[in-house]
Amino acid sequence: MKTATYHLLDVFTDTRFAGNQLAVFLEADALDTASMQRVARELNLAETVFLGAASAANHYPMRIFTPAEELAFAGHPTVGTAWLLNELGLFDGKHPLVLEPPVGELVVELEDGKATFTTARPACVSESPLDGPAAAALLGLDAHQVVGTPVLASCGLAYHLIELATPEALAQLHLSAADWGRLVTPSGAEQIYLYALEASSGDSARLQTRMFCREHGLCEDAATGSAAAALTGYLARRSETRQCIIHQGVEMGRPSVIETAMAGELISVGGRAVRVGKGEIYVE
């Protein structure tokens, strides 16, 4: 048996045991896809990253797995991996870091302990099969607590964006698994991102969010960079909002802070991370 070493981080926070958990395996080229998936299932974190050896200076191939599947793109693995490489001195710091997940190259810059990447593609917005009353039923809320009509938005991973009238409504919801199967699953996008405006000033907004997905049942995520990017792109089309500070994970006891901004047609997503531990896992 061989061992593979991983680093455990909390992402979109600078406080241990907050934010979103992430495991990162460095120099993981020897692992095949099936092994990566088994390891991710064993660790059972929201996502696990397997980084290949540098393909060029400051360029690293990256694969991202949930316990159930591989993802083309995810935000907190990108921020966490970049922060870790910087912490370990594994790129020169003079030029941007480039991570290469399946969605395409993600350019990451690091400054004052914060990692910020720019999405590989702009936000794509389309109609959601959910309307306001259906979303309220799904969430166990009164109809007046859902604002407007949900949409589908994606920068590489699609989310149903559902606006709630107040931040308090985020804490009051009760998801219906039956309504999820009836309303969300047929869309092929098994992720919903709920948001409520806390405050706005000029082109900036502060929001509270929650993200739920279906993976071995309904699961909640503590911090979701890909959803935050999609939401920011959508808000920029709908209003003057071009910068967001997003608070997520509060209801889970894992508060997270995600900073986003429009970068031309693309979206930048930034945050901090902290190392929690290091371990080894046996692989064949």
Q: What is the pLDDT of residues 266-280, one digit of tens each?
A: 999 999 999 999 999
Instruction: Find out whether 206 and 247 touch, Cβ atoms under 8 Å.
Output: yes
Question: What per-residue confidence (pLDDT) applies to 94?
Answer: 76
Q: Which two tokens stand for residue 18?
A: 């907050």
- For residue 95, pLDDT over 90 is answered with no
Question: What per-residue confidence (pLDDT) applies to 129?
Answer: 96
Across-strand partners of 251? none
pLDDT, tens digit, 9 for 90 and up, residues 63-84: 999 999 999 999 999 999 999 9
CA-nearest of 133, 13, 11, 142 to 77 is 11
CA-nearest of 70, 19, 34, 32 to 49 is 70
29 or 1, higher pLDDT: 29
Share of the chain above pLDDT 70, in %: 100
Looking at domain 2-117+271-283, its CATH class is: alpha beta
Instruction: Find out whether 44 and 67 touch, Cβ atoms under 8 Å.
Output: yes
Per the annotation, the verdict on 47 as an active-site residue is: yes
- Angle at which helix 75-87 crosses helix 225-238, to 10 degrees, equals 120
Given the candidates 3.40.50.300, 1.10.274.10, 3.30.70.270, 3.10.310.10, the CATH classification of the domain at 124-264 is: 3.10.310.10
Question: What per-residue confidence (pLDDT) applies to 61?
Answer: 98
Give the pLDDT band (50/70/90) at residue 114: very high
Give the pLDDT band (50/70/90) at residue 1: confident
Question: What per-residue confidence (pLDDT) applies to 284?
Answer: 80
CB atoms closer than 10 angstroms to residue 14: 14
Give the pLDDT band (50/70/90) at residue 44: very high
Average pLDDT, integer, range 17-31: 97
Give the pLDDT band (50/70/90) at residue 163: very high
Q: Report the C-alpha gap between 271 and 114 in whole angstroms.
A: 5
- For residue 216, pLDDT over 90 is answered with no
Q: Hey, do 2-117+271-283 and 124-264 end up sharing a CATH topology, with the first three levels equal?
A: yes
Domain boundaries along the sequence of the chain: 2-117+271-283, 124-264
- For residue 215, pLDDT over 90 is answered with no
Per annotation, catalytic residue among 27, 47, 109, 284? 47
Q: What is the mean pLDDT of the chain?
A: 96
pLDDT, tens digit, 9 for 90 and up, residues 190-208: 999 999 999 999 999 999 9
Question: What per-residue confidence (pLDDT) applies to 91?
Answer: 83
Q: What is the DSSP string of 105-137?
A: -EEEEEETTEEEEE-SSPPEEEE-S--HHHHHH
pTM (2 d.p.): 0.96
